[in-house]
Chain A
Amino acid sequence: MGLTITEKILANASRKSEVASGDVVIADVDIVMAHDSTAPLAVEGLYKIGKKVFDPDKIVIVFDHFFPPPSVDAARLHQKVRNFVTEQKIPNFFTDGVCHQILVEKFVSPGNVIVGADSHTCTEGAVGAFSTGLGSTDIAGAMATGKCWFKIPESLKFNLSGSPEKGVYAKDVILNIIGQVGADGALYKAAEFTGDYVKNASVSSRLTLCNMAVEMGAKNGIIEADEKTRNFLGREGKIFESDKDAVYEDEYEIQVETIGPQVACPPTVDNVKPVTSVEGEKIDQAYIGTCTNGRSEDIEIATKILKGKRIAENVRLLVIPASTKIYLDTFGKGYLQEIIKSGGIICNPGCGPCVGRHEGVLAEGETCISTQNRNFSGRMGHPKAEIYLASPATVAASALAGEIVDPRGYV
């Protein structure tokens, strides 16, 4: 019987010739990541275990959720984690981008097993790695042992074919899929994205697809790596392919040209509608960034819409590159200057206001349209603030209009 990419990577990492869904394996991990929000509990977990990290080179710590610290409590947590980094001699410590972007830029290779104390660790599957989110105690265990237990997941195949119409992007495609399958439609499963749309998509767009796999409950998102992946990463890794007779629990056929711009309406990510059904909804904040859509490609799309125009008076537009590399790239190309001239605010690379802790927290009754991946009540501030999720084009166009608009009139 054939195997999927996910099964092959996990079999390889647990030194088994074959695995089947439902098996529990103990796999070696290549990268163990935690960020400022989850590392403090992981550090406490490791102290409880009473061991040093198994290999300091394989541990990556990123401050991105609230950096620079917006409060004394936040600074105190940073201090605790910094002490841990020094004491355990961990060389991979960063404060200049969202953890998933940092991992993809600096560490991940195809075929790796990656565990991160962040649910969106499924993002890194876009480069042909098995990558999944865990909590702090699991991460403490992985830091101590270099291993982690996994139940081999059933796989779902999403076969994406065709070319999207102008004004439609990977974000619209993944929102459409989540709307179809629901918040638990892929619960515990591997979501494998394939088809000519995926082959033709940039690595940046592939990252957007895999980033949101967890929003349908998936354990991991995964895309077969190719030469494009290797060029993007600058690392070879080991490319695993799904066998032709691999077993999938379910297969979805999606023609991307049938998908228009989408929005996930408050308060759940699977509450997905065509943008045309919410046009005219007034907004107070527009946010372009995060691990979902904070890459150069996304900022370029937004810049083309914003260039030479002025955002609506009632809107604050935040643009936050997902890493310093992207910050410098988009600055070098003059994008950020155009965004600033149009009235936008650029903040330091990181998560920004996505988790509601700083840099654009919402008041009661305010509405935000964002390129992030979650719109739950209370996520970005007051529980009675509303969050719509959309592509960078929809967010940029809406910032100009002061209300949600269809970006197809702007691209």
Chain B
Amino acid sequence: MRAWKFGNDVNTDLITPGRYTITTDKTKLGKIAFIEHRPEFAREVKAGDIIVAGENFGCGSSREHAPVAIKAAGVSAVLAKSFARIFFRNAINIGLPLFVCEEVDRIDDGDLVEINFETGQIRDKTKDMVLKAKPLPKFIQKIVEKGGLVNFLRSEGYV
């Protein structure tokens, strides 16, 4: 799957500018992901593609439209050195897989990358190298395993 490479501190205004988020329609949101920051993204992204970014991905607003747009655009996972905390929770809550990996600088834009969602093993097929993601904290893994917060709350008997 193609890697789409981004830098540090990619904020939610770059992912989904406020002027475009007066909707909850997932299809519409999928079309506006990075609309001004990287206009070719939503046009060319293919189902299963991966976002690879630096530190503090998703900083800024709490708008859940940002991970929703990324997921709706077809992205299968986001790989970054670190995530801003609200974006991190939002992505986990809506079932967009995230992986934290210190070595993402070794991946280039356009590389073909495969992630084993079970083990966190990242294979860059273009460079024939293998990287490893840090495992998520146990409590968060449980939410991921249930496919997001709503199912987690149900399965744990909170609702």
| A residues at B contact (CB < 8 Å) | 24, 37-38, 40-41, 44-45, 48-51, 65-66, 71, 73-74, 77, 117-119, 121, 133-138, 140-141, 144-145, 147, 149, 151, 183-184, 187-188, 217, 219, 268, 355-357, 361, 374, 376-379, 381, 383
Instruction: Indicate if B62 sits at the interface (CB-CB under 8 A).
Output: yes
Contact check, A141 vs B153: say whether CB atoms are below 8 A apart.
yes
Contact assessment for B64 and A374 in the assembled complex, using a CB-CB cutoff below 8 Å: no
A309 to B75 Cα, complex, angstroms:
54
B101 at the interface (CB under 8 A from A): no
Complex-state Cα separation, A137 to B45, whole angstroms? 26
Contacts of A71 in B (CB 8 A): 22
Which A residues are CB-close (under 8 A) to B104? none
Closest CB-CB distance, B75 to chain A, in whole Å?
17
- Determine the chain A residues whose CB is within 8 A of the CB of B149 once the complex forms: 137-138, 140-141
On chain A, the residues within 8 Å of B76 by CB distance are: none
Within 8 A of A (CB), among B52-101: 55-56, 59-65, 67-68, 82, 84-87, 89-90, 93-94
- Asked if B121 lies at the interface with its beta carbon under 8 angstroms from chain A, I say no
Q: Are A357 and B85 in contact (CB under 8 A)?
A: no
Contacts of A357 in B (CB 8 A): 18-19, 22
- Contact (Cβ within 8 A) B85 A219: yes
Q: Contacts of B90 on A, CB cut-off 8 Å?
A: 135-138
User: What are 19 pairs between A and B in contact, CB < 8 Å?
Assistant: A49-B154, A118-B62, A119-B60, A133-B62, A135-B86, A135-B87, A135-B89, A136-B90, A137-B64, A137-B93, A141-B93, A141-B153, A145-B158, A151-B137, A187-B84, A357-B18, A357-B22, A374-B61, A377-B37
Q: Are B63 and A38 in contact (CB under 8 A)?
A: yes
Q: Are B13 and A66 in contact (CB under 8 A)?
A: no
Interchain CB contact (< 8 A) of A74 among B11, B22, B84? B22
Write the chain A residue with the least CB distance to B67: A135
In the bound complex, CA of A63 to CA of B71 (Å): 27
Minimum distance in angstroms from B54 CB to a CB of chain A: 10
Please tell me if the beta carbons of B137 and A356 are within 8 angstroms of each other in the complex.
no
The answer to whether A135 touches B64 (Cβ under 8 A) is: yes
CB distance from B7 to the nearest CB of A (A): 11
Question: Per a CB cutoff under 8 Å, which of A41, A141, A374 touches B13?
Answer: A374
Determine whether the beta carbon of A138 is less than 8 Å from that of B93.
Answer: yes
B18 touches A134 (CB 8 A): no
Determine the chain B residues whose CB is within 8 A of the CB of A45 once the complex forms.
150
User: Given the complex, which residues of A lie within 8 Å of B63, measured CB to CB?
Assistant: 37-38, 135
Contact, CB under 8 Å: A38 / B62:
yes
Say yes or no: B65 contacts A187, CB within 8 Å: no
Are the CB atoms of B37 and A184 closer together than 8 Å?
Answer: no
Name B1-60 residues within 8 Å CB distance of A: 9, 11, 13-14, 17-19, 21-24, 36-37, 55-56, 59-60
**Chain B residues within 8 Å of A145, by CB:** 153, 158-159
Report the count of interface residues on B (CB-CB < 8 A).
42
Cα(A65)–Cα(B18), bound, Å: 10
B84 touches A73 (CB 8 A): no
Instruction: List the B side residues contacting A119 at CB < 8 Å.
Output: 60-62, 86
Report B-chain residues with C-beta under 8 Å of the C-beta of A184.
9, 55-56, 59, 82, 84
- With A145-B153, A356-B18, A383-B37 known as contacts, the answer to whether A187 contacts B85 (CB < 8 A) is yes
Contacts of A121 in B (CB 8 A): 62
- Name the residue of chain B whose CB is nearest to the CB of A72: B22
Beta-carbon contact of A356 and B19 below 8 Å? yes
In the complex where A41-B64, A44-B24, A144-B153 touch, is A135 in contact with B59 (Cβ < 8 A)? no
- Bound complex: CA of A136 vs CA of B21, how far in Å? 13
- Whether the Cβ atoms of B65 and A41 lie closer than 8 Å is yes
Q: Are B159 and A49 in contact (CB under 8 A)?
A: yes
Complex: chain A residue closest to B18, CB-CB: A355
Chain A: which residue is nearest B90 at the CB level?
A135
Cα distance A376–B14 when bound, in Å? 8
Chain A: CB-nearest residue to B61: A119
Are B59 and A137 touching (Cβ within 8 A)? no
Distance between Cα atoms of A56 and B64 in the complex (Å): 23
Closest Cβ of chain B to A123, distance in Å, is 13
- A188 cross-chain contacts in B, Cβ below 8 A: 85
Distance in angstroms between the alpha carbons of A223 and B149 in the assembled complex: 31
Contacts of B19 in A (CB 8 A): 356-357, 361, 378, 381
- Chain B residues lying within 8 Å of A379, measured Cβ to Cβ, are 13, 17-18
CB-CB under 8 A for A37 and B36, given A24-B137, A49-B153, A378-B13 = no
Is A149's CB under 8 angstroms from B62's CB? Answer: no
Q: Are B56 and A217 in contact (CB under 8 A)?
A: yes
Q: Is the CB of B159 within 8 A of A144?
A: yes
A110 to B93, CA, bound (A): 29
Cα(A268)–Cα(B24), bound, Å: 27
Q: How far is the CA of A71 from the CA of B23 in the complex (A)?
A: 11
